[in-house]
Amino acid sequence: MLSVLVFLLAACGRKEADLEETILDSADLRETAVSIVTMDFAQTKTHAPTSTPTQVRTATLIPTLDRTRPPIQTPTSELACNIAAAGSPIDISIPDDTKLAPNTAFSKTWRIKNVGSCTWSRLYTITFFSGNSLRAQYSHHLVEPVEPGETVDLTVDMIAPEKVGVYQSNWMLSDPDGVLFGIGPHGDAPFWVRIEVVQTVTNTPQPTSTLTQTPVVYISGEADLANGDEIDLDTATLNPSDVSLVDLRYQSGGTPLHILTPLNEMEWIAYGDNEPSLAQCAASAINKNTIGFNEAPTGTYFCYKTSKGLWGWLRIEGISAGKLSISFLTWSTH
């Protein structure tokens, strides 16, 4: 009981002490405020995270670039079928602005190269395109096929106009479907012949041989040539046994329908509708070109020089019973 009494007395004394009013001066108030702020800061410091968490970013991997330069690829394009190019040179005969007398017959030859991917068959033609036709046949079939990469000489027989002036005749190639093509960067440019017709020709080439005033006729005659026939114009012999004597071969039934081919160094050129003299033939620009046609140019004269070097003329008389009729005359003068 004594112990209980002591405990109760102690408790009452503490309660009275707690009820006593405590008076604080201004200094105490300041110290108390600072103390509270300090305690609040300490508590805040304690509960705040010690460091701001940094967001971890995952780096995106950039693929390694192959910086090895790939080989340059040449673009492949399919080569067009029909492409032509000028040969070197393109003008084999009658260069531009050649001076000719009125009504002079001449042969224009171009050198053309097949730079396309298709073969030019004998169904291809050289065709008049524009300008002055110079009295030439409008279309001429190729004499033989021209493979890609090959060069061909194309010849057209023409006649200078009667009037003085400058004339240009433009030509192109045509495929079997009638589609025209030519030369140039785009394959659509024609090739041409340009002549000047003058009254007096000062640069007409003179024959190298001395011609007599009245040439002597060596031989003359007529012949009917069937398909495959050959003729020697020096002796007027049809199908001679010695093939080295043959001057001209006739073929029919192909494209073009009629073909005359000079052989054994014979040369010739279309002259016109009037019979030429020896001097006129000797002054002509003869060549070894094959001549083809679908309709016989009846009445047309050709100047020729035989395989033995004799001058003469040949005239197309017409076609009868499948045979080509000709007449010819060979002079004895070389």
Q: Could you give the C-alpha distances from 311 to 109, 136, 220, in angstroms and in order?
A: 22, 24, 12
> How does pLDDT run across 244-303, given as a tens digit for each residue?
989 999 999 888 888 999 999 999 999 989 999 999 999 999 999 988 888 888 999 999
Q: 164: how many CB neighbours lie within 10 A of its CB?
A: 11
Rounded to whole angstroms, the Cα distance separating 331 from 310 reads 6
- Per mean pLDDT, which range of 190-194, 204-208, 258-262, 302-306 is the poorest? 204-208
> How does pLDDT run across 46-96, given as a tens digit for each residue?
454 555 555 555 555 555 545 455 555 555 457 789 999 999 899 999 999
115 with 83: CB under 8 angstroms? yes
The pLDDT confidence band at residue 212, using thresholds 50, 70 and 90, is very low
What pLDDT sits at residue 197? 92
**Residue 255: half-sphere exposure toward Cβ, Cα within 13 Å:** 11
Residue 8 has pLDDT above 70, yes or no: no
What pLDDT sits at residue 77? 53
Rounded to whole angstroms, the Cα distance separating 216 from 229 reads 28
18 with 12: CB under 8 angstroms? no
Rounded to whole angstroms, the Cα distance separating 330 from 272 reads 17
Closest residue by Cα to residue 230 from 240, 219, 217, 244: 240
Closest residue by Cα to residue 208 from 138, 100, 282: 282
> How does pLDDT run across 163-191, given as a tens digit for each residue?
999 999 999 999 999 999 999 888 889 99
What pLDDT sits at residue 220? 87
Alpha helices in the chain (DSSP H): 2-19, 26-47, 278-282
> How does pLDDT run across 126-168, given as a tens digit for each residue?
999 999 999 999 999 999 999 999 999 999 999 999 999 999 9
